[in-house]
Structure 1
Amino acid sequence: MATDLRILSIRIDDQGNSVDWTKLQEVIVQKTQRNKIFFKTSHLEKSYSNITLKQRLQPQHQPKKLYSQPPKIGKDKYEDLMSLNESVLPVVRVSEYVDFYKSLPH
């Protein structure tokens, strides 16, 4: 997240003071203000300085498909699934599900 928001590239806080990330003593991130980081460089400071993070629009990472088409199942597995649909007391009774099992590539 820090690299996505480029937090460490920020060198100036909202008050115009320079920020030395190695000297931060206390850091607060509030749920109500997600785009701000509040910090102190000394425990003796009374108030927090803050940095406003810029919202960068990044395209959502779209994973590529693992298979270009559905993988085939073995003949024995297919026949076993069909036996669930076609026995005297079928385990799978809903026609939509039966059609799904019948359409599996084998």
Structure 2
Amino acid sequence: EDGTWSPYGIETSEALERARLFGDPLCQVKVRHWVYEVHLGHMLQMNFKTKKERPVRCVERCDDKGGGRGRLPLADIKASILYFVELETLAPAKTASTMPAVASR
């Protein structure tokens, strides 16, 4: 072990990110021929067979390219969402004071 970090592949990274976003404490991934259980709360990966543990970390990508295969950088996605939210294309919700009165006999 030389103390350097090795990035996961795109599919593994996406599986880990999905698990993190859904609040899952564990995520099982396969890297080459090894199966790992990643403990997201403790930021550790454990080799399922050998039980050896290693720390993991979560970092943003260094480049501003989307990674290919139709992927976009997160900053671009957030900017696009903000653009559409700011369009305010829906009419404001009606309140009780702006709703027509209903009468009954």
TM-score, reference length from structure 1:
0.33
The structure number with the bigger radius of gyration is: 1
- The structure richer in strand per residue is 2
Considering fraction of residues, name the structure with more helix. Answer: 1
Higher relative contact order (CA 8 A, sep 6+): 1
